Structure formats: structure tokens, C-alpha cells
Amino acid sequence: MVITTKEFNQLAAYIEKNYGIHLKTEKKTLVVGRLQHILQEKNFQNFTEYYEYLIQDKTRQAAVTLINNITTNHTFFMREADHFIFFRDQVLPFLKETVKDKDLRIWSAGCSTGEEPYTLSMIINDFFGKEKFWWDTKILATDISEKVLLKARVGRYLDRQIETVPDQWKQNYFKKVNDQTTEIKETIKNEVIFRRFNLIDKCFPFKRKFHVIFCRNVMIYFDNQTKNDLIHRFYECTEPGGFLFIGHSESLSRDITDYKYVIPAVYRKGG
């Protein structure tokens, strides 16, 4: 299956406009590789037919399938571990001191298959210990792809996927399903609210501001304008003194945001 430049540009523009994912011409292979089986299943002869189907589909199924397939969902437990150490040693003690209503609001934006919010939840569980009873520490974890959210909700991982998890966590927060698979325990699963959310939506529907936002290695797929707009919306919905975590390869320019640099890829709102 091949995609013509025109077809690719059409599709890339559609994807970028609706989901913010910026696909350069180098990504032709990616688009073909990830979408060709949809075309085969639906018996489309070419990408033009597929595009017509996509834009005329009144149910959201075509879009959902597109999103499920076009997004890159790379994640693993303890990814960019420095962040979790900082979160545990600096952020949580600060929040414990300052959040008076004991309602912790942490958002894992672009949670993929759930490794990040589960890691955060386990850290929170360890940190608060028995005091957690008094706290509402539920984490909001969103992604645009239904496919990964499904996996995340199930919370089952191959053993090789949890190799990086500390043994104590494996004991406390995981249970064996079979000789290859391990599942997150309900106590942790219940601490994460998985929802589908498109980050490029101009209006965030959240009731209250967040203490911490993790949006790591998500904006690397966006173009600059989309990225800057998103950072602006993040800032607007961050509590004063709240934190934004981004991927280690990313950085925020001082010109475009009021977030202040703390450590690499960690920023903070003043106040």
C-alpha cells in the first residue's frame, strides 16, 4: 500500500488540526504502516477512499480507530526516574504542607497505557502511608487513544514490562495473573481515573486547578504553536506554586510562559 503526497498531506493536516499531532513527510512510512490494515479491513483501495470515509463518518468510530492507530504510545514504569524522585522528595512534602483541604489534584496528561499514573499512585501511597486515609489522592489520567486507555484500565503488564519496578512495589501493588503477566492491584487501580481527553481542545472542562501536571513526551509530537497554546492552558489550570513536568528532551522557553524553571524538565507556577 502506498500513500501519495497529496493523500498524505490531506491526512496529516486533518490529524494535526484535530489532534495536534504533527506529521512531517518523513512520517509517510508511519502512516502507511499504522493505517494499512484498516484500509485492508475496510476494503479501501487507497488512502483517498479512506480519507473520504474518515471525514464523512458521523459516528466517531473512524476517528477513534485513526487515533488508536496513529498515536505513538511509548511508556514504561519509572520512565525518567529523576522526576519521580523529585516528585516524592520535593513536591509531595510541599503539597502535604500546603494543601489544606487534603484534595490532591494530579493530572497525568497523555498517560498512555497507565504506567505513569500507576507509578505516581504507588509513590503517593508509599509517601502518605496510613495518613492517606484522610486524603483524596486520586489521579486524573487522560489520553486521546481509547486503545491504550483500555489497556491502562485493565492494568495488566508483561513481566518484562515491570522489570524496572522495585521489588517492594511488585510485592505490594502487583499480583500475578499467569507466568507471563502481572496485574496492578485494585487499591492502586482505584486511585487512578482514566479518561479520554484531547489535549488540543481549546477549553479545559476541569472544575479545579491542578497541583501537578505530568505531560511528558507528549508535546514532542505537536508543532510549536499547538505546544505553546497547550502550555498556556496548562499554566491557567495550575494552582499557584504548582508543578509542570515535561519530557527530558523538551524545554519551555521563558518567552512563552510564566512557568519558572526548577530542575531539568520541571517547571513551576509562581505564587
Partner 1 sequence: MFTWYKKAKVSNKLLASYIFLAFISVLISYLAAYQVSSDVARESVLSGGVLLFLIIGLIISRRVSKPFLELKNLIGQIEHMTNEHETGDIDVMIPEDQFDGEYQIIVKKINRMVNDLVSMNKKAMDVVAQFGKGNFEAPLENFPGKKAFINESIETLRTDLKKVHAEINRLIKAAHEGRLSERADSSEFSGDWATLIDGLNSLIDAILAPIQEVSAVLNELDKGNLQMRVEGNYKGDHERIKIALNDTVTTLENNIKEVSEVLTEMSEGNMDVAITTEYRGDFSALKKSLNHIIQSFNSLLHNINNASNQVAAGSKQVSDSAQELASGATEQASSIEQLTASMEEISSQTDNNAKHAGKADSLVNVAKKEAVQGNDRMAEMLKSMDDINESSSNISKIIKVIDEIAFQTNILALNAAVEAARAGQHGKGFAVVAEEVRNLAARSAGAAKETTALIEGSIKKVEKGTKIAKDTAGALNKIVDAVTEVATSVNNIAVASKEQASGISQINQGIMQVSQVVQANSATSEESAAASEELTSQAELLREMVAKFKLKDASGQTFSESEKISPKVLKMIEKLGKQENERELVQPEKQVPVAAAINDHDFGKY
Q: 61 Cβ partners below 8 Å, 6+ apart?
A: none
Residue 257 binding partner 1, by CB under 8 A: no
* Window contacting partner 1 (CB under 8 A); options: 24-32, 82-90, 119-127, 166-174: 24-32
Q: What is the dihedral of CA 167, 218, 12, 229, to 10 degrees?
A: 170
# residues contacting partner 1 (CB under 8 A) = 58
User: From CA 50, how far away is CA 44, in angstroms rounded?
Assistant: 6
Residue 16 binding partner 1, by CB under 8 A: yes
Query: 184-213 mask for partner 1 (x: CB under 8 A)?
Result: ---------x-xxxx--x---xxxx-----
Among 175, 220, 232, 260, binds partner 1 (CB under 8 A): 220
Pick from 259, 268, 256: which is nearest to 227 by CA? 256
Query: 62-91 mask for partner 1 (x: CB under 8 A)?
Result: -xx--x----xxx-----------------
Pick from 46, 222, 90: which is nearest to 144 by CA? 222
Output the CA–CA distances (angstroms, integers) from residue 25 to 28, 31, 70, 108, 210, in the order listed: 6, 10, 15, 30, 37
Residue reference for cell 473512524: 62
Question: Within positions 103 to 122, which residues make up the interface with partner 1, using CB under 8 A?
Answer: 103, 105, 107
Residue 150 binding partner 1, by CB under 8 A: no
| 244 beta partners | 213, 267
Within 10 angstroms of residue 223's Cβ, the number of other Cβ atoms is: 14
Residue 163 binding partner 1, by CB under 8 A: no
Among 131, 251, 258, 260, binds partner 1 (CB under 8 A): 251
Q: Which residues bind partner 1 (CB under 8 A)?
A: 5-6, 9, 12-14, 16-19, 24-26, 29-30, 32-34, 36-37, 55, 57-60, 63-64, 67, 72-74, 103, 105, 107, 136, 138, 140, 142, 144, 146, 193, 195-198, 201, 205-208, 217, 220-221, 247, 249-251, 253
